[in-house]
Amino acid sequence: MFAVKHSPGQNERVYQEQIRFLVKDGEGNTVGLGDAVATADVQDLAGVVPAKTMENQNSQMKNNAGGAYRLEEAIELDFNALLMQDDEVSLDKMVAKSTEELEAERMAMQRPTKARPGMKYKTETITRTVDDNPRFSSSLRMATPARVGHFVRVFGQPSRADLGEKRDDTPTMRQALMMLNGRLTHEASRVGDLEPVHALLVGAEPQLLKAITLAYHEIYTRNPTEAEIQAGQQIISEAANVKAGFADLRWIMLNSNEFRFIP
């Protein structure tokens, strides 16, 4: 129950991502792709850190040495000097600027910063392959509350951020779409080669009666009726293969009113 349904390699998913990295810096040193991935969180590679900022960072690192955060040492204010300051504004130092001077200052502030000479960038597309094999578990082992966007959160589980927060029982269109087209329903319907029902569906003579009965035990926790057995056999026979037909049967059962507790 707590293991994967498919063997390794049967659910490989290939995706691509683009990485922009520095090929040659301003000093002529060559930078590899591995260095670019390690520094992928750096946004402005051509920016120059002001000396005052570096001085503040060094002072902060010195204050935080030893692993302890010393708030008292980080705040260094000379209150005597602050009290002796003159609050009056010296009007003789205020000089009016012309419109041309103000426009020149505005254009200088909006002028983009030029990159350092010799810096070359390159964008490459990297292809990654992952084994996207879903793992099912018991609801007792799920995190409570679940993350935002999780299946149970969409179906009304409260965030429990406030005391006494109640569950929302209002049906939504997102709930219906998640049951019809969601990945959780799709993966639960698929037949994996590691689950018990797989042995009943493969071979020269599939044991459809036992497979349908097992599906009703797992989803409805009851035995199927004669009409339900005939309907299940018809759904499986009309599919491209036995496993695809059994997946269609389980998808229909998961989207039925009985499974969704609708009378």
Q: What is the pLDDT of residues 178-203, one digit of tens each?
A: 889 888 899 889 999 888 999 999 98
Q: Same domain, yes or no, for 147 and 247? A: no
Any residues with CB less than 8 A from the CB of 130 and at least 6 apart, and which?
12, 13, 15
Counting as low any pLDDT under 70, the low residues of the chain are 1-2, 24-96, 112-118, 261-263
Note the pLDDT of residue 249: 97
In Å, how far are 72, 90, 91, 101 from 95, measured between CA atoms? 40, 11, 9, 12
**Residue 17: domain span:** 1-39+114-131
This prediction has a pTM of 0.56
| 97 falls within a domain | no
Q: Same domain, yes or no, for 240 and 196? A: yes
CA distance 47 to 45: 6
**Which of 185, 182, 180 has its CA nearest to residue 149?**
182
DSSP string across 190-234: SPPTTSTTHHHHSSSS--HHHHHHHHHHHHTSSPPPHHHHHHHHH
**Which of 63, 79, 82, 62 has its CA nearest to residue 71?**
63
What's the structural domain count of the chain?
3
Beta-bridge partner residues of 209: none
Q: Same domain, yes or no, for 120 and 34? A: yes
- Terminal-to-terminal C-alpha distance of the chain: 29
Note the pLDDT of residue 107: 84
Q: Same domain, yes or no, for 180 and 156? A: no
Beta-bridge partner residues of 139: none
Q: Same domain, yes or no, for 126 and 247? A: no
